[in-house]
Chains A and B, each alone.
Chain A
Amino acid sequence: MKKISKLFSSIGNYFKNFGVSLAKGDIWVKSSLVVMGAGYFARKQIINGIIMLLVEAAFIFMCIFYAAPNLAKFGTLGTVQFEQTFDPLTMTSTVNDYDNSFLILLNSIVALFIMLVFLFVYIQNIKSVYKLQQKKEEGIHINNFREDVRAMFNDRFHITLMTLPAIGVVLMNILPILVLIAVAFTNYDQAHMPPNSLFTWVGIRNFKNLFTNSVTVTFGYAFGKILVWTLIWAVLATFTTFLGGILLAKIINNKRTKLPKMWRTLFIIAIAVPQFVTLLLVRNFFADSGIVNTICSNVGITDFLKNIGLVSPNLTYIPFLTNPNWAKVMIVLINIWVGVPYQMLIATGVLMNIPEDQIECAKIDGANNFQIFWKITMPYIMFIQGPALITDFVKNINNFNVIYLLTQDVFVTSDQLLANSNAKEVDLLVTWLFRLTNEYYNYKMASVIGICVFIICAAFTLITFTRMIKGDREEVFQ
């Protein structure tokens, strides 16, 4: 709560400063409202002034030729349908001047974003021009251009460093997220694909669809099922690999284990091979007519499993990756194979730093190994690795590779209701939304699911959020 009120008060101050600058500024500050470089020219910062003028000119140019035409259509996302007319005389086809809904949406968001940035620059401009005025009145030295440039590598070095990465993040993360949030409120799908057809705003209809379950719309059913499996998967995947990693590290790091380095390397080799190679290989390993099935039926395991009812009697193979329940178990097991060596490496680092004296004390007091593990080692590991556990949990919610590479093209769902929504039993929310976009072009529903995934992940991360960036910890070691 305190943070939120602090945020609002700092926003308030931001605009208050702007007002003060404007009210107390002289004629040059005020004229900077119209001609952005004016304040700089008056204080003989010619180059700064020219730069500001150019920024202003570029912005006006952008508004007229880019923002205005796109934003005018932003409300409807275009009205002119794509039409192609074939002229039999010249044997050429001509295309009318059609509207591309997606480009309108994208360009409008970019334009709005630029406007927001410009507004910030504009306010900042007035403030810094006013500061120059104050400096002049008090007779303080005003930097010339060369000194300004030098400051960019000193007091203001953070601006120099952050500019390029920030542009990258805006391009790759912020703009796409804004576009997709917008798409969630449109009817952009296979029936409304630009450039051939238009799409438009539909309000919160897609969100309603995600939670309805009727004869035609089965998204509610699919969403519930997949959400439950996603959460079960994330819990299982996180804890099995975490505990497995600690146990493996304990075994390898035991003082009486010979050649610990060799053992560690053997396990690392297994994960050093790129995941797409190993996972695709393992998928063929466990295929219905794969080598494991051949061995199992030769040894008699298949028949044994049939007898105890784990494999249905009319199958001649074990459906490792084709039966929903088998596949889920296999995915978790294979994920242990993928994840334990990683956790082992991290746990090794943590275990090496456990304070020895505590363990010695416990031994003198007569504690056995089991007690030491649960009362000293585990609490210590949990203290260090606790936040990482939550991060791992969120990563597993979005663990695309394991599920997709193991089940894509292999697992076919027999549940008609799931199939109607293009979902499968073994899907996570992310693989489901990937399939919705990549195979079925159902962008609207994929965006809605994406927003849900985000909310879920955010809720879990908020638990550790304050701990991670509290900031009291970061200066302790410096």
Chain B
Amino acid sequence: MKKTVNSVLRHVVLLILAVIWLIPIVWLVATSFSGYRGINIAHFFPQSWSFSNYSALFLEPDSVVQYVAWFKNTLIIAIFTCIISTLFTLMVAYTMSCMRFKGRKFIMSFSIILNMFPGVLSMIAVYFILKSLGLTNSHLGMIIVYSAGSGLGFLIAKGFMDTIPVSLREAARLEGASEAKIFWKVVLPLSKPIIVYTIISSFLIPWGDFVLAKLMLNSGISSDWTVAIGLYNMLDKSLINKYFSIFCAGGVIVSIPISILFVIMQKFYVEGVTGGSVKG
């Protein structure tokens, strides 16, 4: 009897929590189908329903809404960021985990200290450096911003590679494989979960980032922006009453691919990270 009560109670608590966690998401989706463009402050669900916000997003670009252009910009930046970051991260992780050379510990300590410096602060100097190179307001500049420092984020991948048995590498070396071959043919194929995790997490950076894009893409030309900046701009005080529902529609569209990738990433994260850390 007591167990049944407990079990019912537990499910009720879970249900209440789930509702709390999903209210904003439900509001987002509901408002995106609203027939009214501004914020509906009287009712949770819209009074009239329509698809007009979505058609405005894709078919009627104006000086404020350039959704297709934003999506394209973000996608291009994300693809290149993803390639470069993944390569850098894996290269550094392999070096730190599998190779032994003078200064390795020093480089590791140094990079941990370097990572502590507030990113927001150094970004302002990065902005000036890129500006003097003429790279602000360009895709190339954004790709550099997102991916150049990615070598510092090697710790998770290194932690995973540490769990690959050293005997495998030694066996390969005895058979005459070079270090480069061991990297490609032995360690990388065994690091699949962490590679997928690195790929997805670096792909997601440009979609979720707001601060850097706001600093770097300051030309005021809306077709240069990324999705995050574009959507943020729609909520400007002078625009919010005309664009709030369109913002919600844009939020829904960008969230669909992102959440799918995020869920996949979580699966690999749990496999890769907890798999590695728990053994310790």
Residues of A in contact with B (beta carbons under 8 Å apart) = 102-103, 106, 150, 153-155, 157-158, 160-162, 164-166, 168-169, 171-177, 179-180, 183, 248, 251-252, 254, 256-258, 263, 265-278, 280-282, 284-285, 287, 289-291, 293-295, 337, 341, 345-346, 348-350, 352-353, 384, 394, 398, 400-401, 404-405, 409, 430, 433-434, 437-438, 443, 446-447, 449-450, 453-454, 457-458, 461, 465, 468-469, 471, 473-478
Contact with A along B258-280 (1 / 0, CB 8 A): 11001100100110011001111
**B235, A284: Cβ atoms closer than 8 Å:** yes
Given contacts A289-B41, A384-B278, A474-B162, contact A434 B24 (CB under 8 A): no
Stretch at the interface among B57-65, B189-197, B247-255: B247-255
With A173-B152, A345-B266 as contacts: A251 and B14 at CB distance below 8 Å:
yes
Docked Cα-Cα span, A469 to B96, in Å, equals 11
Asked if B109 lies at the interface with its beta carbon under 8 angstroms from chain A, I say yes
In the assembled complex, the Cα of A353 lies from the Cα of B270 at a distance in Å of 12
B157: CB under 8 A from chain A? no
A158-B101, A384-B277, A409-B237 known; A173 vs B114 contact (CB < 8 Å)? yes
Is the C-beta of B150 less than 8 angstroms from some C-beta in chain A?
yes
Q: Choose among B91, B162, B228, B259 the residue that contacts A478 (Cβ–Cβ < 8 A).
A: B162
Decide if B120 is an interface residue (CB 8 Å cutoff): yes
Contact call B151/A257, Cβ cutoff below 8 A: no
Q: Is the CB of B105 within 8 A of A471?
A: yes
Contacts of A290 in B (CB 8 A): 39, 41
Cβ of B71 within 8 Å of any chain A Cβ, yes or no, is: no
B83 within 8 A of A: no
Residues of B within 8 A of A150 (CB): 178
Please tell me if B48 contacts chain A, counting CB pairs below 8 Å: no
Q: Given contacts A155-B179, A162-B91, A454-B117, are A169 and B232 in contact (CB under 8 A)? A: no
Question: Which A residues are in CB contact (< 8 Å) with B165?
Answer: 478
Report B-chain residues with C-beta under 8 Å of the C-beta of A256.
Answer: 3, 6-7, 10
B25 at the interface (CB under 8 A from A): yes
Nearest CB in chain B: distance from A328 CB, A: 20
User: Which residue of the partner chain, among A394, A469, A478, contacts B166 with CB atoms under 8 Å?
Assistant: A478
The answer, yes or no, to whether B116 is at the interface (CB within 8 Å) is: yes
Is there an interface contact between B278 and A349, defined as CB atoms closer than 8 Å?
A: yes
A276 touches B120 (CB 8 A): no
Contacting residue for B25 out of A176, A273, A276, CB 8 A: A273
A166 to B88, CA, bound (A): 9
Q: Is A446 within 8 A of B144, CB to CB?
A: no
A447 to B124, CA, bound (A): 10
Contact flag A453-B129 (CB < 8 Å), given A263-B14, A274-B258: no
Q: In the complex the two chains form, is B180's CB within 8 Å of A154's CB? A: yes
CB pair A348 B270 closer than 8 Å: yes
* A474 contacts across to B, CB distance below 8 A: 97, 162
- Answer whether A353 and B40 are a contact pair too, CB < 8 Å, given A285-B27, A345-B266, A450-B118: no
* CB proximity of B24 to chain A, nearest CB, Å: 5
Complex alpha-carbon distance, A177 and B266, angstroms: 33
Residue of B nearest to A250 (CB): B10
- Residues on A with C-beta less than 8 A from B151 are 162, 165-166, 168-169
Our pick among B95, B150, B178 for the contact of A161 (Cβ within 8 Å) is B95
Give the residue of A183, A275, A401, A453 whose beta carbon is less than 8 angstroms from that of B118. A453
Contacts of A251 on B, CB cut-off 8 Å?
Answer: 10, 13-14
Give the chain B neighbours of A346 by CB distance below 8 A.
Answer: 274
A150 to B22 Cα, complex, angstroms:
57
Which A residues are CB-close (under 8 A) to B97?
474
A-B contacts counted at CB < 8 A amount to 272
Knowing that A172-B122, A284-B244 are A-B contacts, what are 11 other residue pairs whose CB atoms are under 8 Å apart, sorted by A's residue number?
A103-B132, A154-B179, A161-B91, A165-B88, A168-B148, A169-B111, A177-B114, A269-B259, A291-B42, A398-B118, A457-B116
Complex CA gap A400/B210 in Å reads: 10
Could you tell me if A272 and B262 are in contact, using CB atoms closer than 8 angstroms? yes
B145 within 8 Å of A (CB atoms): yes
Of all chain A residues, the one with the shortest Cβ separation from B260 is A272
Query: In the complex, what's the smallest C-beta–C-beta distance from B185 to chain A, in angstroms?
Result: 13
CB of A477 within 8 A of CB of B120, answer: no
Shortest distance between the CB of B195 and any CB in chain A (Å):
16
Is B231 in contact with A257, judged by CB distance below 8 angstroms? no
With a cutoff of 8 Å between Cβ atoms, the chain A residues found around residue B25 in the complex are 269-270, 273, 278
Knowing A269-B22, A454-B116, say if A275 contacts B208 (CB, 8 Å). yes
Q: Are A457 and B28 in contact (CB under 8 A)?
A: no
For the complex, what is the distance from the CA of A254 to the CA of B10, rounded to whole Å? Answer: 9
Q: Are A179 and B128 also in contact (CB < 8 A) when A263-B14, A268-B266, A400-B120 are?
A: yes
Q: Decide if A173 touches B228 in the complex (CB within 8 Å).
A: no
Cβ–Cβ < 8 Å partners of B28 in chain A: 273, 277-278, 281
Cα A279 to Cα B109 in complex, Å, equals: 35
Q: With the chains together, A341 CA to B148 CA distance in Å?
A: 30
CA distance A267 to B20 in the complex (A): 10
Task: Assess whether B251 is in contact with A281, with CB atoms less than 8 Å apart.
Answer: yes
Q: Which A residues are CB-close (under 8 A) to B14?
A: 251-252, 257, 263
Chain B residue with the shortest CB-CB distance to A257: B10
**Smallest CB-CB separation from B20: which chain A residue?**
A337
Is the CB–CB distance between B255 and A161 below 8 Å? no
CA distance A180 to B119 in the complex (A): 12
- With contacts A155-B179, A174-B114, A284-B39 taken as known, whether A404 is within 8 angstroms of B148 at the C-beta atoms is no
A residues in contact with B262, CB < 8 Å: 268, 271-272
A275 to B112, CA, bound (A): 26
Q: Looking at the complex, which one of B122, B163, B166 makes contact with A176 (CB distance below 8 Å)? A: B122
Residues of the B chain whose Cβ atoms lie less than 8 Å from the Cβ of A168: 88, 147-151
